[in-house]
Structure 1
Amino acid sequence: MTIDWWTIGLQTINAAVLIWLLARFLFRPVAKVIAERQAVTEADVQAAEADRTAARADREAAAAVLDKVAEERTALLAEARAEAERTRVSLAETARADMDRERQRARADMDRERAELTGQMADEAGILATEIATRLLTRLPPDVLVSGFIDGLARSIAALPDPIRAEIGRDGPVPLRAARALTGPEQDQLTRQLTEVLGHPVGLVITPDPSLIAGLELTTDHAIARNHLAADLDRIKSELTAHD
């Protein structure tokens, strides 16, 4: 086999020229384009990474906001429940206080009505008792309507202060009411006992008054002395109908 060195040399030169041409007119522009593409790609990658970082930060911020909103919601719900409980307790206490006041008012009304009814019944009972007593006492025998009350009238006059007793009968006869007209002995007994307790004679103007039921009543400008059943019944009636 024979080697053609000229051919090899020419091919080598052709290859070198081709490589130089490719390097000058193809490889450099292609390398430049590739470098530019790599730069763009790197920029895109960096931008994408920045976007991912920003998106991650946004997600984290959104999660933080959601967590804060959830915490605030929980706090608001807790406060709302607490406020609702306070309102419920306040309303319950107010309702209980209103009910207590209503019960007290109703109890007071019942007590007042009971007291009024009791007082009314007591008044009616007292009036009825005095009416019954009056009817019974009007049936007393005539001979006891005056004589049994002379001593009591004398004691009532004797209990008066001395200056008042001294004035009784000084200016003339004294009015005296009696349950019936006095008999002679009764008038003598009455005049004698009054003279004794007064210390001086006294004239009497005697007027029968059946409303006294039984007894006597002496009236002057200075005092009234009474000893009769009508006054006793009035006093008993007042005591029976008196309310504390």
Structure 2
Amino acid sequence: MSIDWWTLGLQAVNLLVLVWILARFLFRPVARILAERREAAAAVLADAEAARAAAEAARQEAEAETAALKARREALLAEAREAAGREAEALRAEARAGIGRERAEAEAQIARLRESGQEEAAGAAAALAADIARRLMGRLPDSARAAGFAAGLAEALADLPEATRAGLGVAAPLRIRAARALSEEERRDLRDRLAAVLERPVTLDVAEDPSLLAGLELEAPGAVVRNHLKADLGRIASELARHG
């Protein structure tokens, strides 16, 4: 067996030329393309991660702002309710003081009339005192004509016999008369207070009745619960007439 060194040498040269051609025109371009694609993919991933981080930061910031706004809203509502309660109580105290002054004046005049034997005039004085008190109540601002009366109505309802309370609001909504239209928050507060007294959920049928002057009245079969100034003035007038 003999080796043709010329043929072997030429084949080796051909192989080297082929490897050089492949390395120059195939391997290097392919490696460059792969490197460029890896860089592009890394850039896309980096942009996506940055966008995700920005979105997460924006979400957290929005949640924080929402929580802060909610807390601020609750604080403002609580402050407004407290201020409204203080104002209503001050107005009621002023109204009660005015009624007390009018009553004291009427009683003083009744005493004077009684001393002079003018019993008929004393009755007229009692009616006049009640009328003056009604006009005084008519000067209350609209906001004070219902605010703060829900608690008194619930207390009066709790004083009813248990047998009477057991049938209230079962077959039909509780009928409520109010001196002015109640806001949704006032309706909810009144419903919650009455439900707490009756120990069960209730629904309300609220009607506006300006003749009550200020306050609320609950009407039900066999029971009427009053917590309004019209009833108070009626009792004052009756008391003055009786003493007259």
Using the size of structure 2 for normalisation, the TM-score is 0.51
In the TM superposition, what is the alpha-carbon distance from 1:243 to its structure 2 partner? 5.0
2:213 maps to which residue?
Answer: 213
2:109 maps to which residue?
Answer: none
Question: Quick one: distance in 1 between partners of 2:180 and 2:220?
Answer: 20
Question: Quick one: distance in 2 between partners of 1:218 and 1:119?
Answer: 37
Question: Quick one: distance in 2 between partners of 1:212 and 1:223?
Answer: 18
2:123 maps to which residue?
Answer: 123
Q: Are 1:189 and 2:194 counterparts?
A: no
Query: Which digits, 9 at most, give the CA deviation of each residue in 1:62-104, with x for residues without a partner?
Result: xxxxxxxxxxxxxxxxxxxxxxxxxxxxxxxxxxxxxxxxxxx
2:91 maps to which residue?
Answer: none
Q: Which amino acid aligns with 1:190?
A: L
Question: Quick one: distance in 2 between partners of 1:226 and 1:164?
Answer: 15
Question: Quick one: distance in 1 between partners of 2:142 and 2:206?
Answer: 17
Q: Are 1:201 and 2:198 counterparts?
A: no
- Whether the aligned pair in 2 keeps the contact of 1:168 and 1:222 (CA below 8 Å) is no
Number of equivalences = 132
2:225 maps to which residue?
Answer: 225
- Whether the aligned pair in 2 keeps the contact of 1:166 and 1:198 (CA below 8 Å) is yes
Q: Which amino acid aligns with 1:195?
A: A
1:120 partner SS: helix
Q: Are 1:178 and 2:178 counterparts?
A: yes
1:24 maps to which residue?
Answer: none
Question: Quick one: distance in 2 between partners of 1:212 and 1:122?
Answer: 26
- Whether the aligned pair in 2 keeps the contact of 1:176 and 1:216 (CA below 8 Å) is yes
Question: Quick one: distance in 1 between partners of 2:117 and 2:176?
Answer: 41
2:17 maps to which residue?
Answer: none
CA RMSD of aligned residues (A): 2.0
1:242 partner SS: helix
In the TM superposition, what is the alpha-carbon distance from 1:116 to its structure 2 partner? 11
Question: Quick one: distance in 1 between partners of 2:117 and 2:145?
Answer: 37
Change beyond 3 A, Cα 1:115–1:242 = farther
1:137 maps to which residue?
Answer: 137
Question: Quick one: distance in 2 between partners of 1:165 and 1:152?
Answer: 16
In the TM superposition, what is the alpha-carbon distance from 1:124 to its structure 2 partner? 1.1
Greater radius of gyration (CA): 1
1:201 partner SS: coil
Question: Quick one: distance in 2 between partners of 1:203 and 1:117?
Answer: 55
- Whether the aligned pair in 2 keeps the contact of 1:119 and 1:243 (CA below 8 Å) is no
2:169 partner SS: coil
Q: Are 1:164 and 2:164 counterparts?
A: yes
2:155 maps to which residue?
Answer: 155
1:231 partner SS: helix
In the TM superposition, what is the alpha-carbon distance from 1:115 to its structure 2 partner? 9.2
2:106 maps to which residue?
Answer: none
In the TM superposition, what is the alpha-carbon distance from 1:118 to its structure 2 partner? 3.2
- Whether the aligned pair in 2 keeps the contact of 1:146 and 1:179 (CA below 8 Å) is yes
Question: Quick one: distance in 1 between partners of 2:119 and 2:227?
Answer: 29
Change beyond 3 A, Cα 1:118–1:148 = farther
Q: Which amino acid aligns with 1:159?
A: D
In the TM superposition, what is the alpha-carbon distance from 1:119 to its structure 2 partner? 2.9
Query: Which digits, 9 at most, give the CA deviation of each residue in 1:162-211, with x for residues without a partner?
Result: 11111100111121110011011111110000000111111111111111
Change beyond 3 A, Cα 1:157–1:116 = farther
Question: Quick one: distance in 2 between partners of 1:215 and 1:118?
Answer: 36
Q: Which amino acid aligns with 1:198?
A: L
Aligned-pair identity in percent equals 47
Question: Quick one: distance in 2 between partners of 1:123 and 1:182?
Answer: 37
Q: What stretches of structure 2 of length at least 5 have no aligned partner?
A: 1-113
Pairs within 5 Å for 1:1-12: none
